[in-house]
Structure 1
Amino acid sequence: MHNVWMEQGFDEHRHLEDLMTFLAVARLGRYNAAGEALGVNHSTVSRRIRSLEKAMGGRVLVRTPTGWEVTGLGRQALTTAEEIERALASLAQRSQDGEMKGMIRVAAPDAFSTEFAVPALARLQQQNPGLTVELISATQRVRQNRSGVDLEVVVGKPFVHKAIAVRLMDYELGLYASQDYLDRFGTPQGLPELAGHRINFYIESALRIDDLDRATESLPQCRRGIDSTSVFAHVAATEAGAGIGLLPSYLGEQRPGLRRLLAQEYAHPLSYWAVVREEAMRNPVVAATIDALQSKGAAGIDSRASITEHR
């Protein structure tokens, strides 16, 4: 790797800011978000990325529909950037009393983040005051080249290479409606009677999770209610009487104003999985985070945790 740097005339010290900026973009996927995290503007981020690409002699990032992702050449820069970051962080991670210190970065769907990750990580942080947590909300497929987060939570069993997939918890989607909606439009007595009702769910064109996409396959043709990329918008729309919500049961059951419909006929099973790079599993902070998430999931929902490794 270092031969490549030297062939391109790369000075790691001179380009330290470029590398750290690139690392932020790789993790967050957007120049604006990286700039906010670093306290610089968009043009500074762009300038630093161009400087890094000039030094390396090629593109380190490529634009995709979901944001910027790392190229093959960029993965070399990512490795070096993470090594530098770990070296700097290790200076602050030395502890005589066994306390874990440093940074853990987790990407997870918003509902899982709010209901399970935040309480679990808050408790872990209380036990280890030197631990810093960054939680990125993302409902998407697992990335084969996971850029920059220590742990990624996804919906559905992932198929990845050179990574470890850890089952965190099982849950299900159910049909929910407000009493006001049912008073106005009637209560369906079977799945066929859902035809013509409005359904609050994800925007179809933006949905890239196969297990979620299949959730409507057993339903009749329904009208669209309020579609959103946010599950909490689905809940709010359902509470507002905009239609029947296709909601995670752990959210729907918490809302006293919502009533579950046709539970014996419809329940779409799903699961949350954590994806971790093999080398990251050697980090005690990552291992402790997975344990905390599994424990919180088991406490919230009857889950069967298992680990499979895909190489």
Structure 2
Amino acid sequence: MTDRKRTDIDWQDVRIFVALARHGSLSAAARMLSVNHATIARRIHSLEESLGDKLVERRPEGYVLTPVGTRALEAASDMEQAAHVLRRGIADGTTTGLVRISSSPGLSAGFLTSRLVKLAMRYPRLDIDLAPALRSVSLERHEADIAIRFDKPKDGDIIARPLTTVGYGFYGTEDACRSVEANGDLVFIGFNEADAYLSGAAWLSEHFPLARLAFRAKDQFLQSIAARSGIGLALIPHYIGRSDPALRICDLGSCPPSRDVYQVTRRRDRSDDAIRLVAEEIVGIFEQARDLFL
């Protein structure tokens, strides 16, 4: 394709390329943009024709970026952000833009959502997209601008900034805790079978193999809601348990080890006002609530 004549770029082609690059499949990109697969394929071909280079390759695991596609995604993401700023309007001295944040479901629901909403209210031209995900998203593919991850990433052109250390405990209602402390049967609330590989689920199974798992839910915030019923104890982070007046901690003698939490951003985004602002605000949010975590 490199010998073909370059032509003017269609912005709609760029939007669809960014969506395919982020999500890695025609179906996911089509769902996000409410178009069909054929439109995605046609637009990608159009952009490749305009640029004179191959941008994506189809593999069994999905679509992957070529080296040219990786470079194109950086420029395309900048175009997408600029378009968002223009749609919202430009105001002197006002931070404008869309910032995508990825975090675990428990941290998103049990801590971040209520606090990030207040941030969005303070900056009326700043939009925040909070996406709960158990898997680690790719900042390189621009699936997120800021990722909040347990344990420090070891690769990529990123900045990993420590936020806090998360401690864990068993939480339940007053009646549920008293029953266990009086040597009653151990009854737990845990993760779904599909998520039994997660570290917390594996630890619980190893240390209390004979205990009943009466209720299962996909994330720790949902588990804390279930614990309010008194059905059993939930092994959850302190920041969730301490924030719920219906629950109290119950000492069973041991708990999983604490885990460090990091904020991860792309190094190149240090000059992006919106991402830098949100990243600094997140650091402050965790600092103000540090007593919740350990």
Q: SS state of the match for residue 154, structure 1?
A: strand
Q: State the Cα deviation string for residues 188-244 of structure 1 (Å, max 9, x = none).
A: 57xxx79x734323346536766x567548723244343333223222332334432
Q: Distance in 2 between matches of 1:224 and 1:30?
A: 37
User: 2:18 matched to which residue of 1?
Assistant: 23
Q: State the Cα deviation string for residues 83-131 of structure 1 (Å, max 9, x = none).
A: 4324535656885631111221111122322344334433333333221
Distance change in 2, residues 1:60/1:53 (3 Å): farther
User: 2:159 matched to which residue of 1?
Assistant: 164
> Which residue, out of 205, 219, 240, partners 2:207?
219
Q: In 2, are the aligned partners of 1:168 and 1:303 still within 8 Å (CA)? A: no
Amino acid at match of 2:221: F
Q: SS state of the match for residue 268, structure 1?
A: coil
Q: State the Cα deviation string for residues 244-283 of structure 1 (Å, max 9, x = none).
A: 2111112112333323111764363123211111001221
User: 1:228 matched to which residue of 2?
Assistant: 217
- Is residue 100 from structure 1 mapped to residue 95 from structure 2 by the alignment? yes
Deviation, 1:177, is: 2.4
Comparing 151-160 with 255-264, greater Cα deviation is found at 255-264
> Which residue, out of 7, 13, 33, partners 2:9?
13
TM-score for both structures, normalised by structure 1: 0.73
User: 2:173 matched to which residue of 1?
Assistant: 178
Q: SS state of the match for residue 227, structure 1?
A: strand
Q: In 2, are the aligned partners of 1:116 and 1:296 still within 8 Å (CA)? A: no
User: 1:187 matched to which residue of 2?
Assistant: 180
User: 1:248 matched to which residue of 2?
Assistant: 237
Comparing 22-31 with 172-181, greater Cα deviation is found at 22-31
Q: In 2, are the aligned partners of 1:32 and 1:42 still within 8 Å (CA)? A: yes
TM-score for both structures, normalised by structure 2: 0.77
User: 2:119 matched to which residue of 1?
Assistant: 124
Q: Distance in 1 between matches of 2:258 and 2:116?
A: 26
> Which residue, out of 260, 265, 269, partners 1:276?
265
Amino acid at match of 2:267: E
Q: Distance in 2 between matches of 1:166 and 1:138?
A: 19
Comparing 267-276 with 150-159, greater Cα deviation is found at 267-276
Amino acid at match of 2:269: A
Q: Distance in 2 between matches of 1:134 and 1:165?
A: 20
Q: Which sections of structure 1, spanning at least 5 residues, go unmatched?
A: 305-311
Q: Distance in 2 between matches of 1:237 and 1:246?
A: 12
Amino acid at match of 1:206: D
State the number of aligned residues.
289
Q: Distance in 2 between matches of 1:285 and 1:291?
A: 10
Q: In 1, are the aligned partners of 2:73 and 2:141 still within 8 Å (CA)? A: no
Comparing 142-151 with 278-287, greater Cα deviation is found at 142-151
Q: Distance in 1 between matches of 2:224 and 2:195?
A: 18
Q: Which sections of structure 2, spanning at least 5 residues, go unmatched?
A: none
> Which residue, out of 80, 88, 94, partners 2:83?
88
Q: Distance in 2 between matches of 1:297 and 1:263?
A: 28
Q: SS state of the match for residue 35, structure 2?
A: coil
